[in-house]
């Protein structure tokens, strides 16, 4: 008997220890879980590297379900990164900020700070990423895409299903 296993892809931030919570909340066994981690589960461009990894996982690993998972306690990481950049690379930041303001077709955000920080609303970022995946021309319509938000205590705060 040929039994195919359903693979589930999780796009998460860099927070560790989410796997048991995700397994419990989604009933996906560890051997069927695939993870893509980045600083914030934000897909900023429909043809960027994270989206490329998602598409390859769908076709190579036979992914049937995707969860975009965000955490509400990550905001201070972005603020720390920005302050470090300002101290160490102020002149380069001014140059890149100029590009953001004057070459709008290539950049989604208005400034380097906006790009690094993302929106102040984790749910909004996740929902935008879900919509990019859902409407991507290379993502099959049978792939289920959900959003999931965990709070500071790493408990599940919300699940959005289609």
Domains of the chain and any CATH numbers: 7-73+120-160 (3.40.1050.10)
Q: Do residues 47 and 22 make contact, with C-beta atoms less than 8 angstroms apart?
A: no
Measured CA distances, 15 to 77, 91, 93, 108, 154 (Å): 11, 31, 27, 25, 9
In this prediction the pTM is: 0.75
Q: What is the pLDDT along the chain (162 residues), one digit of tens a residue?
A: 334 578 999 999 887 778 888 888 889 999 999 999 987 788 888 998 999 999 999 999 999 999 999 877 655 555 566 666 666 676 777 777 777 777 654 555 666 666 666 666 788 889 999 999 999 999 999 999 999 987 655 445 445 555
Contacts of 53 (CB under 8 A, 6+ apart): 36
Contacts of 129 (CB under 8 A, 6+ apart): 11, 41, 42, 43, 68, 147
């Amino acid at each position: 008997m040929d039994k195919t296993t359903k693979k589930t892809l999780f796009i998460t931030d860099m927070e560790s220890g989410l796997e048991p919570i995700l397994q419990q909340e989604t009933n996906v066994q560890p051997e069927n879980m695939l993870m893509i981690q980045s600083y914030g589960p934000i897909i900023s461009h429909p043809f960027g590297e994270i989206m490329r990894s998602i598409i390859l996982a769908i076709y190579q690993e036979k992914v049937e379900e995707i969860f975009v998972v965000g955490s509400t306690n990550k905001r201070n990481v972005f603020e720390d990164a920005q302050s470090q950049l300002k101290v160490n690379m102020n002149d380069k930041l001014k140059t890149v900020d100029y590009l953001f303001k004057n070459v709008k077709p290539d950049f989604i955000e208005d400034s380097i700070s906006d790009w690094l920080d993302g929106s102040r609303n984790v749910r909004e970022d996740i929902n935008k990423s879900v919509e990019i995946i859902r409407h991507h021309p290379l993502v099959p319509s049978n792939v289920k895409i959900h959003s999931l938000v965990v709070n500071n205590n790493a408990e599940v705060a919300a699940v959005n299903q289609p």
